[in-house]
Structure 1
């Protein structure tokens, strides 16, 4: 019988076994950094837990944590967990007020700017009873924004917190979905869920002694120390990751000799482009993990040029509700794009990770249907959203499955193939197009940065429009010639009624990698049939 994965608290307590080890590196810019040892982290966790109790935060309280500083995030999340409170992670965006009204948090922890927005925009109004402000103090801050929560990095001489082991079914955290594929929802993580996710991350990262993780996504940086990794958090623009200066990523990577790199395609593209422009290589890196959107061959090839020959580039599949689920090496991904199994066009996601199962719900005659996932990484519910929970859960063969909303197939070797979102199907007169079927091929055309298929018109009578984001400086006629060549033998190539050029696709705010197809479709609807070709 397989042993249960170690819990969040067990991993936190284990940090005391290596007190002098550097577990967290907070970077500012390309060169400046602050290193935090395990002893300092645990000392800070204990001090913050005491400050939270003194402020009236109690077990079971839901506490929004909104800060861009990785040290403040780690101190707050770890300390809240230590006292049995529930951290709530959400990006600042237009829907925050409605989201917080939904979950009714009693505590709001954040930097001054977050509290200014809270006061001005009514975030948590009527629910938040305890407002705690991080960062430097200033006169009148307490009256204006809330009481101070000191989160300075201590010297490490204080005691580690005494953290009781929670029950697996206890609520550990609420993390909101990005809203890029629908209305944002608060995803519940029980302690068993977090344990399963940390165990699955172990399986996909395969950490070794001395590994250094460059995490370009703030929540993953908070988990890095629990994975036993020295975790480097670069200064990413977390509201617009693709606008991060590339030197802020590559500089820390080289300086701290990162062996593992984790980021979205948009952020990894910045690293690959910077290395190409400056003739740089990344000799310490042995594994790169791409997540948040499909990994395209051109990006994988660009990254590979900067990496040692033996380094791996993995495309990781998952969602806020179930992360991670599957992974595939870029070399295997490239070969499968060239010769996919019959009837299995799209993008291969690889096999599910150990302990995780995937199946296809309601498959058609070709095996295409909705991807469903089961296993310890799956969230049990959306918080305060029983309607959404019921819609996303199904029971099959006595097992509870999460419906991902993604379309896919399973091949004879047990590999998952992704063909896009159910909500993004294009249905025309006598045809149905999945987005990934066309895009995985169109994205290989020279001069194309990426593509997006959208439907214009009512369902069942839609016109298929292929939107193109070209590489800078290329001629449209050259791009069109390359697209015709790429799609010439594609079984659905003739279904594309219009080609529309767009200088930069709108994307999600979390990763800048998921394409906002609703906005693209609205733009495409303003062009007559046959528009830009």
Structure 2
């Protein structure tokens, strides 16, 4: 992937869409950010900005940063909470050709430090709390040359050694004319987005301008988003797509890294005030809002479209949430990953029709490929595959690793050559990405998810043959038991053999059977399905470890360690 400073000039820059919106709908709302004083809706206030102002201020910031000494091609860690400043600053960085590095604060201190070591940022831009953490934990101390703080006042700047963004802008004395944004080759590096680390060590995904353009096109064409809409944006990166689509981004007062802690009243208030037509939310928030709104018959009639991504949402949570929507509005479940998003989608009504297959171990249907995306299934293989050829493809209804091709597919990880070789292959023209997910394509071409490749259990039976168990098909069968809240397949070693074991988290809202009775019922259930035959070991765990963002991705690796300690051979 080319560095922007070295790349040939072209015509690509995400901000060209913002400029177009500023010229065509200048006075329309571009962004609004909700703030609260206390925990009641009485204390809510809102910052607002229109497209023309957002474009002008981001121009000013881009010019000021260049005047300050930043140069196109530099990499800047951005640790700023969702705010009007966040919008202006991020678009300013893109206009200046400075590469934002976006990390999830929820990934933990150790992972954050490793991200900084790998990304080697030239600039650290953050709120005061981020700068204090930077000094405390030594983030980026070997590479960072410029420190910029957003908010906090002069005392904070003195303590952290950073320059205030406000001072940089106010003292820049730059030309008030529109900033001549960097127009680059479509394959030039535009940003580095780190994966959350919920299924392994975080990796920096190199985003090109071509990828951003493909995502914008998908949201326009496949999801039907139109200029003038208003989006309830609960994920910082997606909130940036709003202004690029001519759509206002309404950011509620919540911790985006911990959506399960959001105050539903604040979110409902933002939707009502701005009559939002679109929502981009993850499964944790679907569950949170549905649990709050459904029992009191709350309605959100302005919503015309709900996009869910990040992890599979449960059928029950989607149904509860849907009671608040108009009857013709669906929850659109999207499949993808940081490396490639979106790839496929399925509406909730179609999804409801697949529940019987899912409950009987058929995996989770994630729908049709969106326009321009090619999905294939290959044999499960831990080795790198450098060249794609059609002979790798498995026939319909055969489970293997999901491989994708499309303009939104990333070409590499940043400074992770081994990971790039393991996940990428080329067909001579385009990059294909190995998702690390297992699944199959049915006869109609629909994609079904069967879990992570790393979460399968290849067990050796007493007869010496190998039996393979997949996480999603296995777990969904056991989840049909009325006393099971959720389950997790892990592998444990018993008498020198890798053996499947299912951890169970009980539904504490109901009275449960005695443990030995429950285990016997689960054994009987296992024998009724080919996907689970041979599973005879179960353990009850009080509270599964899950990722804080989605509250759905189970840390099976932690459960496997715990389960192994419980085994008495």
Q: TM-score, normalised by structure 2?
A: 0.85
Matches within 5 A, 1:58-69: 58-69=71-82
Q: Distance in 1 between matches of 2:514 and 2:16?
A: 57
Match of 2:61 in 1: 48
Larger-Rg structure: 2
Match of 2:235 in 1: 217
Match of 1:35 in 2: 48
Aligned in 2, Cα 1:81/1:475: closer, same or farther, shift over 3 Å?
A: same
Q: Distance in 2 between matches of 1:168 and 1:39?
A: 26
Matched, 1:19 2:55: no
Aligned in 2, Cα 1:344/1:454: closer, same or farther, shift over 3 Å?
A: closer
Which one is further off, 438-447 or 171-180?
Answer: 438-447
Q: Which of the numbers 94, 104, 125 marks the counterpart of 1:91?
A: 104
Q: Does the aligned pair in 2 maintain the 1:112–1:145 contact within 8 Å?
A: no
Match of 1:490 in 2: 529
Q: Deviations over 1:198-255 (max 9, x none)?
A: 2122234311454221121111112211122111111221332212222232221233
Q: Deviations over 1:141-197 (max 9, x none)?
A: 23533111129999xxx7653324322122111100111111111110111111112
Q: Distance in 1 between matches of 2:451 and 2:178?
A: 46
Match of 2:503 in 1: 467
Matched, 1:410 2:444: no
Matches within 5 A, 1:87-486: 87-92=100-105, 93=108, 94-139=110-155, 141-150=157-166, 160-208=178-226, 210-339=228-357, 345-362=362-379, 367-396=398-427, 399-430=430-461, 431-457=467-493, 461-477=497-513, 480=518
- 1:496 Cα deviation after fit: 3.1
In the comparison of the two structures, how many residue pairs are matched?
Answer: 523
Q: TM-score, normalised by structure 1?
A: 0.91
- 1:295 Cα deviation after fit: 2.2
- 1:266 Cα deviation after fit: 0.6
- 1:129 Cα deviation after fit: 0.5
Q: Distance in 1 between matches of 2:495 and 2:268?
A: 45
Q: Distance in 1 between matches of 2:562 and 2:239?
A: 37
Q: Does the aligned pair in 1 maintain the 2:526–2:535 contact within 8 Å?
A: no
Question: SS in structure 1 opposite 2:513?
Answer: helix
- 1:417 Cα deviation after fit: 1.0
Q: What RMSD, in angstroms, separates the aligned Cα atoms of the two structures?
A: 2.9
- 1:486 Cα deviation after fit: 6.6
- 1:469 Cα deviation after fit: 3.2
Q: Distance in 2 between matches of 1:282 and 1:484?
A: 43
Q: Deviations over 1:366-401 (max 9, x none)?
A: 621110111100111111111111111123486421
Structure 1's unaligned 5+ residue stretches are none
Q: Does the aligned pair in 2 maintain the 1:112–1:134 contact within 8 Å?
A: yes
Question: SS in structure 2 opposite 1:274?
Answer: helix
Aligned in 2, Cα 1:56/1:152: closer, same or farther, shift over 3 Å?
A: closer
Q: Distance in 2 between matches of 1:45 and 1:252?
A: 25
Q: Does the aligned pair in 2 maintain the 1:262–1:288 contact within 8 Å?
A: yes
Structure 2's unaligned 5+ residue stretches are 1-9, 171-175, 381-393, 462-466
Aligned in 2, Cα 1:204/1:450: closer, same or farther, shift over 3 Å?
A: farther
Match of 1:508 in 2: 547
Q: Distance in 2 between matches of 1:147 and 1:278?
A: 49
